[in-house]
Structure 1
Amino acid sequence: MLPEQEIRNRLSSLQLAVGHAAQALSAERHLPGELRDYIQKLDRQSDRISEILALRDPRRIVKLIEDMEVLGARARRVCSSGLPLSGQMKSAVNHMHNELVDFKQRLH
């Protein structure tokens, strides 16, 4: 397991990445409901990060990141499907997914 400070730093970076995706979401007018749903779920899970950190349970942290990575992969798939999305939206989702994948790999 990563040192606690690194976990905190990565979770903070992850929260920022999810926040940027949520901001991009609010700027888009014609998003598929599926993408909107994935990002909203990620945003809610991101809000739980502080609560999970307070529990100091490594299994819950790993589970949260794994669950978020699945949602991030689904959001990325929608962005890559050829739909007319802004560059900001695609970039925010790709960045968020990359953060999740990297964090997940370092946790294992």
Structure 2
Amino acid sequence: METNEMQQRFSQAETMIHRAAQRCQVVDSVPMDLKDSVQQLDQKAIHARELLKSQDENQIRQCVDDLEQLGDRAKDACENAPADVDSELRDAVMQAHRELSDLKHQLH
């Protein structure tokens, strides 16, 4: 995968991750496990942004794998949350998960 394409795909996922993290901050009734998983995902995405600059393919691949696992946790927490959980938060988590999953599959 070309570096530019990878960075573009990561940016799309990162945008959704940040959107989910922002929604967790402003919405009152977010279950704690969902909030925690989104915050961990957001922190890892910040670290990943720096790692992408290194162009170390093995580290980048491992980081994307880690992000995808955190995305799985956030998705699971979202699916287990009450039906009335913020729809914008749910959409952002699900889209971030899809982007990370696609990126992982393209890197392997």
- Give the TM-score, by structure 2 length: 0.91
- Which range is displaced more, 79-88 or 37-46? 79-88
Deviation at 1:82, TM superposition (A): 4.6
Measure the CA separation in 1 of the matches of 2:81 and 2:2: 40
C-alpha distance 52-92 of structure 1, shift in aligned 2 (>3 A): same
Task: Name stretches of at least 5 consecutive residues in structure 1 with no aligned partner.
Answer: none
2:101 equivalent to 1:97: no
Q: Could you tell me which amino acid in structure 1 is paired with residue 34 of structure 2? A: L
C-alpha distance in 1, partners of 2:14/2:93? 13
Letter of the structure 2 residue corresponding to residue 105 of structure 1: H
Aligned to 1:5: 4
Query: What is the one-letter code of the residue matched to 1:20?
Result: R
Q: How many residue pairs end up in the alignment?
A: 107
Could you say if the C-alpha distance between residues 82 and 34 of structure 1 is closer, same or farther in structure 2, counting changes exceeding 3 Å?
closer
Tell me the percent identity.
Answer: 30
Query: What is residue 57 of structure 1 aligned with on the other side?
Result: 56
Q: For 1:11 and 1:80, locate their aligned partners in 2 and report how far apart those are by CA, in whole Å.
A: 23
**Partner amino acid, structure 1, of 2:65:** E
Which residues of 2 match residues 60-79 of structure 1 at below 5 A? 60-79=59-78
* Bigger Cα displacement from structure 2, 36-45 vs 22-31: 22-31
RMSD: 1.2
More displaced stretch, 10-19 vs 78-87: 78-87
1:11-30 equivalence runs, <5 A:
11-30=10-29
Give, in angstroms, the shift of residue 50 of structure 1: 2.9
